[in-house]
Amino acid sequence: MSWWDIFRKSEDSRSYVREFLEKSKVKIPAIRRLDQLRFVVLDTETTGLDPTKDHILSFGAVKIENSKILVKSSMELYPESSRKIGKSAEIHGITQVPNPVRQEEFTKTILQYIGNSILVGQHIHFDKAMLEKITGIPSMPTITIDTANLALRLEKGPQAQWNQVAQKDYSLDSLCERFGIKADDRHTASGDAFLTAQLFLKLLKLAESKGILTYGELLKTY
């Protein structure tokens, strides 16, 4: 049985998926302080930019709790590709995947890992779409925060729109440079997740300085 079969059913039969969805129902109170929120900062490396065609080569993530990046929570996973293993990987230079994990295992691991944390990432919607595809959960109820968007709103005001700024000023590279984060070797999923996590800590601090102290206020800004 492949995960496609499971996908077709309206009620997911996989217990870990049900567990995840159940957990996600717990709403975070709007007045919860920022330092009490749990975040999972992540990044994925993919074969391309189209979630319908492309798939995840590697997944890197780290948790933030009590406003601290927990290095011990850092995770790096290389999901096995469902089709034509090797071809696209070779194109992207990843010929030897360290400890590839089967997709089912991958899904189980990351769903448990994410729980009802808030997902944070640079252009997180894309990563979320990729995760939805690989996990077979059509629309994950998980709350997300896009660091590029958050940076834009914090810097240019809550009404700021993307068409008012140069997109490239909000790339991970530009943001890291602006926020004084040394981006030594980019372009591994974990490496970028780590950079994004540091950026996010700084953005949270900037938010606090602008009087954004709670979850509700953060989401409103964002």
How far apart (Å, rounded) are the C-alpha atoms in residues 5 and 1? Answer: 7
CB of 105 to other proteins, least distance (A): 17
Tell me how many residues contact other proteins (CB under 8 A): 27
Residue 138 is a binding residue for other proteins (CB under 8 A)? no
Q: Which two tokens stand for residue 188?
A: 């591994």
Query: Going along the chain, which residue ranges are E strands?
Result: 39-46, 56-65, 68-79, 100-101, 118-121, 144-146
In the shown chain, the binding pattern of residues 49 to 68 toward other proteins, with x for contact by CB under 8 A and - for none, equals -----------x-x----xx
* Per-residue b or e along 93-111, where b marks 16 or more CB atoms closer than 10 Å to that residue's CB: ebeebeebbebbebbbbbb
In the shown chain, the binding pattern of residues 70 to 99 toward other proteins, with x for contact by CB under 8 A and - for none, equals xxx-xxx---------------------x-
How far apart (Å, rounded) are the C-alpha atoms in residues 149 and 153? Answer: 6
Residue 194 is a binding residue for other proteins (CB under 8 A)? yes
Binding site residues, other proteins, CB under 8 A:
60, 62, 67-72, 74-76, 98, 180, 184, 188, 190-191, 193-194, 197-198, 201-202, 204-205, 208-209
